Amino acid sequence: MDLEFLQSMDVQILAGVAVAVLAVVVTAAAFLFSSKKSKGCLDPENFKEFKLVKRQQLSHNVAKFTFELPTPTSVLGLPIGQHISCRGMDSQGEEVIKPYTPTTLDSDVGYFELVIKMYPQGRMSHHFREMRVGDSLAVKGPKGRFKYQPGQVRAFGMIAGGSGITPMFQVARAILENPKDMTNVHLIYANVTYDDILLKDELDSLAAKYPGRFNVYYVLNQPPEVWNGGVGFVSKEMIQTHCPAPAQDIQILRCGPPPMNKAMAAHIEALGYSPEMQFQF
């Protein structure tokens, strides 16, 4: 009887030890996984090299560049609405550094993408124009003043011009693809011609997938003959019609060429939006 009792005690002790060891292993694995998951590939102080694995020409002067991260499960680690600094060489062989916003999020693992408009005289444009698959890009980050927490505002109004669409697209995607974030997004996107519109398929796809939550209004300076969007420059009336009205729980974001940003700041102020309701990338 005593022997049976001792044997049963041994079994119970061994089972308890096994459960305890398993709990420690699971906890350690979870901690390790969460640590790895939350740790991005970026370094805010030092440039790191990322290899170009795909280049897709979208138009005569726009291309999508896909860069490989160290492992298939790596994330870039870029907070929503922030950007990276990219380093390259201009046509004279001089170093140039310029900020860019990836169109991918940390839900896109193993790679990140940049949609780049290459201007004839652009110094960094030259570097991207010359890049070929297998080349590496020097990147540092995260950079930027924009901080976003899901649900921090009821709605965003966004006013973008040209390549200024990239931070807007990144923020809109992050909001809409988060099932816990009910923020509405109203975008006005201005360009010179129809062919200048970046990410149009992706924007239209978001509008179709999230009706009522994401609206996009295109404005063209030189529209085609058949066009149902805005014409000319973005006006106060367009902002009034397509952006949320001034309120404490909304924010107007803007990103575009300096002359456009200046004009939009004047429009927004005239419409009664306080400084707290505005942010310029």
Q: Which residues are catalytic?
A: 83, 100-101, 255
Q: How far apart are CA 268 and CA 265, in angstroms?
A: 5
The 3-state DSSP composition of the chain as helix, strand, coil percent (nearest 5) reads: 35, 30, 35
Sheet (strand 214-220) strand order: 230-231, 214-220, 184-191, 155-161, 250-255, 278-280
Q: In angstroms, how far apart are the furthest CA atoms of the chain?
A: 98
Contact 97, 86 (CB under 8 A): yes
155-161 and 250-255 strand pairing: parallel
Nearest to 280 by CA among 253, 257, 260: 253
